[in-house]
Every structure is written in C-alpha cells, then in structure tokens.
Amino acid sequence: MRIEIVIFDGFDDLDALAPAEVLNIAAREGAPFDVELVGVRSPGLVQSAWKTQIFVENVLGKPDAVIIPGGGWVAKPAHGTWAQVQDGFLPRKLAEIAPGLQWAGSVSTGAMVLAAAGMLHGRAATASQGVLEELRAAGSFVVPQKVADDGDRITAAGLTSSLDLALWITDRFAGAEIAARTSVAIGYRPWDEVWTRGTAA
C-alpha cells in the first residue's frame, strides 16, 4: 500500500512526521506500507510551521492512500492549510485522484483541505477544535472521538491524535498483532477513541 503524506509550507510538524514514523515502524514490523512525504507542486524544500525544513523528492501522485496534515488555519496565515485551500491546487488534485484511492486521511485542520476537495461532504469526520464548526458547515457529520473512520475517509483531531490515526490505520490494514508491536515500539497506547460507522457518536 503506497501512502503519500502531503506536506506544504506551514504544515504542522507532528501532524505529518508522527504518522510517517509510526507507519514506517509498522512497515518494519511487517505492515505492507510504502510511506513517503511528498510535496504539492514540485520537489524541493518545504518549511513547516515550526521552521523545520524537509526536502521532498516527489510530489503527490496516484497513491493507494493519502494523509493531509494540518497547520495554519485559524489565524489564516500565508502558509498552511488555509493557504492551500485558497490556492485551490491541492484540493483539485485530491478531487482528481479520489476515485482511485483506497482511503484518504487527515490530521487536525488537514480535514478542511479534504473538505475543500469535496471528500468529506456527508461523511463522519473530526479535526482540531478550532475548525469543527467550519467542518460541520462544509457538510461533515462531526464526531467527538480522536479518530473518525468512515470507511474510505479516516480523520483525526489535533496533534497527538496523529499517533492514534497511524496506529488505527496499522490495525485496520495490517492487523492487530502488527499494530500491537508498533504500539510497543513507540511506547504509546493507541486508539482509545475511534469512531467507526455503526457505533454511537
């Protein structure tokens, strides 16, 4: 399973790097994951909200799955998720590749990018507290849990929920045994709060 985590100037470090590390550790434990941080438009340096610089060799292609991190929405800065939605390129690209994805995920305000792509309308979702009303206004059924798994849409709330997201993805697509070993490897108890269709919100 090819999983591309899309980063852009202003992304939140933990939202992207935590899932990348957890999913790579899961791959080491036997999960069938091929994980890469990719850019939006072109290869090159990407700077996070906390000034971490990462060189990406590739851009979003046609993966099996995609994760969109949050960062930079509430204050509407020049970089981050708000800027990506205003630019429109990333939401259009996501809408284009959506039919071929096994699933699409997000962390924090990354849900607003998926929403802008039309991928969360009528779907259960969660995000960071600061954008829940906007997510609801965009047509999502907002749930309070840290992770919302609505089949081919898997969203997570803020920051540390990125760990829960990655461990839940590991559990769902690689099995409980590999997820448990990954949890031990990172020293984190996983997915205490996951909403799945058929459970009470």
- Total domains in the chain come to 1
Looking at the DSSP assignment, which residues form a beta bridge with residue 3? 35, 65
> pTM for the complete prediction?
0.96
- List, for residues 120-164, the tens digit of each pLDDT value: 999 999 999 999 999 999 999 999 999 999 999 999 998 899 999
- List, for residues 32-45, the tens digit of each pLDDT value: 999 999 999 999 99
pLDDT-based confidence at 201, cuts 50/70/90?
very low
User: For the ranges 14-28, 68-82, 104-118, 179-193, which has the lowest average pLDDT?
Assistant: 179-193
**Nearest C-alpha neighbor of 72 from the set 60, 62, 59, 86:** 86
- Is the pLDDT at 20 greater than 90? The verdict is yes
The answer to whether 120 and 139 are in contact (CB under 8 A) is yes
pLDDT of residue 159: 84
Q: Has residue 100 been placed in a domain?
A: yes
Q: Has residue 134 been placed in a domain?
A: no
What H or E segment, with its residue span, contains residue 188? none
What integer is the mean pLDDT of 175-190? 93
- List, for residues 158-178, the tens digit of each pLDDT value: 889 999 999 999 999 999 999
pLDDT of residue 193: 75
Q: Has residue 146 been placed in a domain?
A: no
Cα–Cα distance for residue pair 40/97, rounded to 1 Å: 13
Q: Where are the alpha helices (DSSP H) in 29-175?
A: 81-87, 89-97, 110-116, 132-137, 161-174
Amino acid at 89: F
- List, for residues 63-74, the tens digit of each pLDDT value: 999 999 999 999
Q: Has residue 113 been placed in a domain?
A: no
Q: Has residue 142 been placed in a domain?
A: no
Q: Which domain holds residue 170?
A: 2-105+162-196
- List, for residues 93-123, the tens digit of each pLDDT value: 999 999 999 999 999 999 999 999 999 999 9
User: For the ranges 55-59, 94-98, 194-198, which has the lowest average pLDDT?
Assistant: 194-198
Q: Has residue 140 been placed in a domain?
A: no
Q: Has residue 150 been placed in a domain?
A: no
- Is the pLDDT at 29 greater than 60? The verdict is yes
pLDDT of residue 171: 95
Q: Has residue 55 been placed in a domain?
A: yes
CATH number at residue 35: 3.40.50.880
pLDDT of residue 82: 98
What integer is the mean pLDDT of 79-103? 98
